[in-house]
Amino acid sequence: MSVVMEREKGPAAASMLLPIMGVVFVAFLVIGIAMPVLPLHVHDGLGLGPFVVGLVAGSQFASSLISRPLAGSYSDRSGAKRGVIMGLLAAAASGLLYLLSLVFIGAPLLSVSILVLGRGLLGAAESFIITAAVSWGLALADRGSTGKVIAWVGSAMFASIAIGAPAGSALYGAYGFASIALATAAAPLVALLLVVPLPAVAPVHRARFSFAEVIGAVWVPGLGSALGSVGFGAVATFVALLFAVRGWPNGWLAYSAYAAAFILARVFFSHVPDAIGGAKVAMVCALIEAAGQALIWLAVRPEMALAGAALTGFGFSLVYPGFGVEAVRRVPPQSRGLAMGAYTAFLDLAQGLASPALGLVATGARMNVVFLASAATVLGAVFVAAWLMRHPAVDDKPL
């Protein structure tokens, strides 16, 4: 039964968000454990090239892109809790497709095709889980805490990546990709046990923006987020291969460095976008992220690459909620689920295009040039933030 909950402020809101953050943490372990090993499985296990690695990684983001509007609309109409549950069931099913791909490992093209289907289903699952979880959090918090909600829920996601990356590397090293597939199927079911007892928030039955209206309202901050997300995509898809090509050990440390810096930035600075404006924060943090990507490009030792990954994580940590504050302020509360879905769809579009494109760069150039291309792209977010600063949102939408 749905329970209409009053919006809370301060510690009360934080305590209400903790269970949602716990669900997101467990659910996104499936992203973290696969992140450092999936490129290696496709490249080394199946013997396929960097472009296919980028294609497999990008398929998840492409699927997320397609499903974001549905996820946001479903959360607004049926309630965020149901959206999270739908996503968890789909994530578990993606693990079964991972397992099926291993049956045909002797036929690499067939195996990778099934793997792409699994990644696509996982992308849709991720879309439902994170869109509904953020919508759930926004319904619990006051309107002045938009940035904090986006940051806290996102921190749970990246904390799971920080823990999942070394766990995934250990599982892959000891038991192969089958262990990753089994964990992908099991972790969402554990999260489902956590989410079922939580009280739901009833959807607001008022006139909502159409999808076209929402796109019109959020496309500029969405573009900024898309450009800023390319640094994350470069680290997620290619940093493990960079370490392998250079002969550097423990490539998973780059993911943990990224995620640790990401989380620390959100712990100490999540209030800043709400306090001084999302566009200002996004501008500064995009510059930091671009500097991190440039450092990975220039790295001659693994320590430099790890520092670059950490700078990238610190910068991107507040790029997303910074532009997110600008997006949410442009729509009424009853359309926030759809707004977050549309806003995040721009990130998915960037990842779906950038991962294969960066794969082509890696095919035709040295692996580190990927991060130079990424740094240049991230700098585009600075110009978007500057435009938003000159055209501030009116945070007083009619209800």
Predicted pLDDT at 334: 65
pLDDT digits (tens, 9 = 90+) for 205-232: 554 566 677 777 788 988 998 899 888 8
The full set of domain ranges for the chain reads 11-201+209-390
pLDDT above 90 as % of the chain: 26
Encoded tokens for 269: 């600075």
Query: What is the sign, positive or negative, of the torsion defined by CA atoms of 12, 131, 154, 189?
Result: positive
DSSP letters along 259-322, please? HHHHHHHHHHHTTHHHHH-HHHHHHHHHHHHHHHHHHHHH-SSHHHHHHHHHHHHHHHHHHHHH
**CA–CA separation, 231 and 377 (whole Å):** 8
Size (the chain), residues: 399
Longest dimension (CA), the chain: 59
**Residue holding tokens 């709400």?**
274
Cα angle 197, 199, 202 (rounded to 5 degrees) comes to 145
Predicted pLDDT at 10: 45
**CA–CA separation, 35 and 14 (whole Å):** 29
Q: Which CATH number fits domain 11-201+209-390: 3.30.2010.30, 1.20.1250.20, 3.40.50.980, 3.30.365.10?
A: 1.20.1250.20
Alpha helix (H) residue ranges in the chain: 10-27, 29-34, 38-40, 50-78, 80-103, 108-140, 146-175, 177-195, 211-246, 252-269, 272-276, 278-298, 302-328, 336-364, 369-390
Predicted pLDDT at 214: 76
> Quick check: 221 and 118 in contact, CB under 8 A?
no
Mean pLDDT score across all residues of the chain: 82
Which residue did the predictor score with more confidence, 63 or 201? 63
Which residue did the predictor score with more confidence, 37 or 35? 37
Segment 366-379 mean pLDDT: 89
> Quick check: 83 and 76 in contact, CB under 8 A?
no
Burial of 388 from C-beta contacts in 10 A (0-12 / 13-18 / 19+): buried
pLDDT at 96 over 90: yes
The SS3 call for residue 330 is: coil
Predicted pLDDT at 91: 92
Predicted pLDDT at 2: 39
Predicted pLDDT at 186: 92
> Quick check: 153 and 266 in contact, CB under 8 A?
no
Instruction: Read off the pLDDT band of 377 (50, 70, 90).
Output: very high
pLDDT digits (tens, 9 = 90+) for 108-161: 999 999 999 999 999 889 888 888 888 887 777 666 666 777 777 777 876 787
Encoded tokens for 245: 């090509």
**CA–CA separation, 197 and 304 (whole Å):** 45
The SS3 call for residue 196 is: coil
Instruction: Read off the pLDDT band of 7 (50, 70, 90).
Output: very low
**CA–CA separation, 118 and 359 (whole Å):** 20
Q: Which of 389, 372, 37, 324 is nearest to 181 (CA)?
A: 37
**CA–CA separation, 279 and 389 (whole Å):** 6
Which residues have a Cβ under 8 Å from the Cβ of 103 and sit 6 or more positions away?
A: none
